[in-house]
Structure 1
Amino acid sequence: MKPYKVILSGGGTGGHIYPAIAIAREIEKRYPNTEFLFVGAKDRMEMEKVPKAGYNIEGLWISGIQRKISLENLKFPFKLISSLWKSNKILKRFQPDVVIGTGGFASGPLLKRATSKKIPALIQEQNSYAGITNKLLSKNVQKICVAYDEMHRFFPKDKIIKTGNPVRNDLLTITNKRAEALSIYELSPDKKTLLVIGGSLGARAVNELISKQLDFFTSHEVQILWQTGKLYYEQYKHLASKHVKIMAYIDQMDMAYAAADIIISRAGASSVSELCIVGKATVFIPSPNVAEDHQTKNALAITEKNAAILLRQTELDAKFQTELKNLIQDKERREALGTAIKKLALPDATQDIVDEVEKLLKNNA
């Protein structure tokens, strides 16, 4: 049998890129001779992250429509026409057996052209509130893999498969890594550990909050492992101390999670899925500056099941210290939250998504 050819398209943020890479790795594990091509937006982070993962990528001249009035929006029709034209050329040259979209504006033109050519296609929606690109594509793809219930609000019900979001495999085995993790980060086993993560670029509001609350944490004998994001590291690195470890980016996330007693995080889809796997007491501070306020909706899907705490940015001054003090002092509450969030985990997401891809490949053989 000739090797399969697979195109994966998506990007703009890590939440769209890393699931695509995880899916590619699982397909490669099952079919080692598969030929892959990624398609993204030519000036976004996928152009760096995908080649680093070992895959070829082609970039389209495409970007999303700005929500505020912007001259950039005037370019959008030209970018769309250019991207549809280039997508057509890519498909004609590569001749894929299946096309997979993981969301973000970068996946729109490629999947639009692919479905018009009757190439089998699947999309993966990470969020609890569907993105506009996936909503537009959903009418013409064969399968839609989702991570939350009630997604028939956005997509045709008969196409939906609830799989969850792909997460890195090393997170499945953090249970016995605490002592090793504390040693790696030179943290004390006698103090509670707070892990702060705001995404790979960082979250300004979260960083400002933590910097203002350092005395509060010191007074409660809490040590901090703090990922500032690369945009903010220089601004905050002077605050590092024996009990405050500050990093631009954490490479060994399994170890960071293993060390943590409490986690403060944004509520991007990938982060939420990882935190369900990890099963630790979590405080979500969603970014309000994202399309359709989808991070708040992601967090609500967890907190409505009493599996995490939601603090909106507007509530931080009034509620932060009270909520954190309760968590720090109440071990049973921490354990209850950890148990509840772990029940929502879908650890086999990557395999389940690739099961659906496999069906498309075999049906088209």
Structure 2
Amino acid sequence: MTRPATTRVFFAGGGTGGHLYPGLAIARALVNQAPHIQPHFIGAWRGIEREVLPTTEFPFTLLDLHPLYRHAPWKNWRTVVGAVGAWRELTRLAAPNTPRAVIGTGGYAAGVALAWGRAHGVLTMLHEPDSHPGLTTRTFAKGARSLFLGFPEAANRLAVGAHTQVLPLGCPIEPPPPTPLSRAEARRVWGLPDDAFVVLVVGGSQGARALNEVVAAWTQQALPSGVAVIWATGKQQAAAYLDRESGMVRVRPYLAPIAEAYAAADLAVTRAGAMTIAELCAWGIPSLLVPLPTAAQDHQTHNAQATQAAGAARYVPQRDFTVSTLDAAVRALRDDPAARNAMHAAALQRARPGAAADIARSVIVTLDLGAVGIG
């Protein structure tokens, strides 16, 4: 079989980092394993990809794409007009070298490209990070060649075609280093006692105001004996909390890289985004998951419930997340190493630190099969 000099693959997805960063991780793994593959990213002008894609090594095209305005349907004319223009642009973009596949990673930025690929006989593949699949995944799952799942539970909520491979290979993340810092070494980096019980609080790059307010009030009172806190407030909220640092509390706007914080942590208090949970599982960190209640289709609650059912976390609805519940949960887990060990083991059981490489291998095999006519 003669392979072309380059094999083009469109990646379509964005709007949020949870839809864009998995695509970037898969694309990098693809190029690492098969340098002849040439990823090209399709995104929306109004999504996070506008800021992120120009900083990457990949060619990209940003289109005038819009979501479905469910609560303001009179605005959907923008969605239709944008989709028509995007379709024409995709046709023009593909003319010199038709892509072998379109890989959708979710969000409204993926839908038009997947529909275009389906209409032009191009293989379509999907990555769904959440336990409750989004609209794009539900719409295109049935005709997809491969469906890569971050949560195996998502398969129960999808109707797929007879020839669709459903592969629960996980969410592509930056895996822990082969030899991470020991817990004691990491605590020394943070200037914390070797024997401290370290609680890591992370609300995402923008922070989570509901988490920050509770943690701020909790750290103002006497922390439980031996408890230390590493607290990432989010860049936009940092000014209000940076003065809360003390002997056992470390406050940072953002943790990048985050490996030293993960290595130091006994317990994490976080939102329940798919990528965050994937990282916590890869590091084997027990967690209190406080889902964002306004997340689309309440997908973070589904993620938290699935992770709790697996034994790796405890789910706390935001309405129940208070100073007293946080304090009680920290004390209980500090004093119950058997429970922490069980959560640690359950997290590692769910972990898929090699997800990006595994997904890339599957894509390469599928593209080779497609090249010999198994379309």
**TM-score band w.r.t. shorter chain:** over 0.9
Equivalent in the alignment of 2:316: 311
Equivalent in the alignment of 2:361: 355
Q: CA deviation at 1:265?
A: 1.0
User: Alignment partner for residue 215 of structure 1, among 202, 216, 220?
Assistant: 220
Asked if 1:231 corresponds to 2:251, the answer is no
TM-score (norm 2): 0.90
Asked if 1:286 corresponds to 2:291, the answer is yes
1:278-308 deviation digits (Å, cap 9, x = unpaired): 1112110011111111101011111112221
1:57-84 deviation digits (Å, cap 9, x = unpaired): 2111123234533765452222222223
Output the CA distance in 1 between the equivalents of 2:188 and 2:320: 35
| Alpha carbons 1:120, 1:360 under 8 Å: kept | no
Asked if 1:154 corresponds to 2:158, the answer is yes
CA 136–205 in structure 1, closer or farther in 2 if over 3 Å, else same? same
1:236-272 deviation digits (Å, cap 9, x = unpaired): 2222233322222211122111011110111111111
- The runs of at least 4 consecutive aligned structure 1 residues that moved more than 4 Å come to 70-74
Unaligned runs of 5+ in 1: none
Q: Secondary structure at the match of 1:343?
A: helix
Matched AA of 1:209: V
More off after superposition, 217-226 vs 261-270: 217-226
1:168-198 deviation digits (Å, cap 9, x = unpaired): 13x2536544344223333332322111111
User: Alignment partner for residue 192 of structure 1, among 181, 190, 197?
Assistant: 197
Equivalence map 1:113-152=2 (5 Å): 113-150=116-153, 151-152=155-156
User: Alignment partner for residue 4 of structure 1, among 4, 7, 10?
Assistant: 7
Equivalent in the alignment of 1:29: 32
Equivalent in the alignment of 2:347: 341
1:27-63 deviation digits (Å, cap 9, x = unpaired): 1111224322111111322222233232222111123
Output the CA distance in 2 between the equivalents of 1:257 and 1:282: 12
Matched AA of 2:240: Q
User: Alignment partner for residue 55 of structure 1, among 53, 58, 71?
Assistant: 58
Matched AA of 2:354: D
Equivalent in the alignment of 2:282: 277
TM-score (norm 1): 0.93
Matched AA of 2:99: P
Q: Secondary structure at the match of 2:10?
A: strand
| Alpha carbons 1:88, 1:110 under 8 Å: kept | no
Output the CA distance in 1 between the equivalents of 2:192 and 2:42: 41
RMSD in angstroms over aligned alpha carbons?
2.1
| Alpha carbons 1:163, 1:352 under 8 Å: kept | yes
| Alpha carbons 1:174, 1:258 under 8 Å: kept | no
More off after superposition, 100-109 vs 340-349: 340-349
Asked if 1:330 corresponds to 2:336, the answer is yes
Output the CA distance in 1 between the equivalents of 2:345 and 2:226: 24
CA 324–33 in structure 1, closer or farther in 2 if over 3 Å, else same? same
Matched AA of 2:317: R
Matched AA of 2:329: E
Q: CA deviation at 1:129?
A: 0.5
Output the CA distance in 1 between the equivalents of 2:306 and 2:161: 19
Asked if 1:89 corresponds to 2:92, the answer is yes
Output the CA distance in 2 between the equivalents of 1:52 and 1:336: 41
Output the CA distance in 1 between the equivalents of 2:52 and 2:136: 22
Output the CA distance in 2 between the equivalents of 1:353 and 1:331: 35
Equivalence map 1:61-72=2 (5 Å): 61-69=64-72, 72=75
| Alpha carbons 1:87, 1:109 under 8 Å: kept | no
Give identity over the alignment, percent. Answer: 30
CA 184–91 in structure 1, closer or farther in 2 if over 3 Å, else same? farther
CA 46–29 in structure 1, closer or farther in 2 if over 3 Å, else same? same
More off after superposition, 317-326 vs 172-181: 172-181
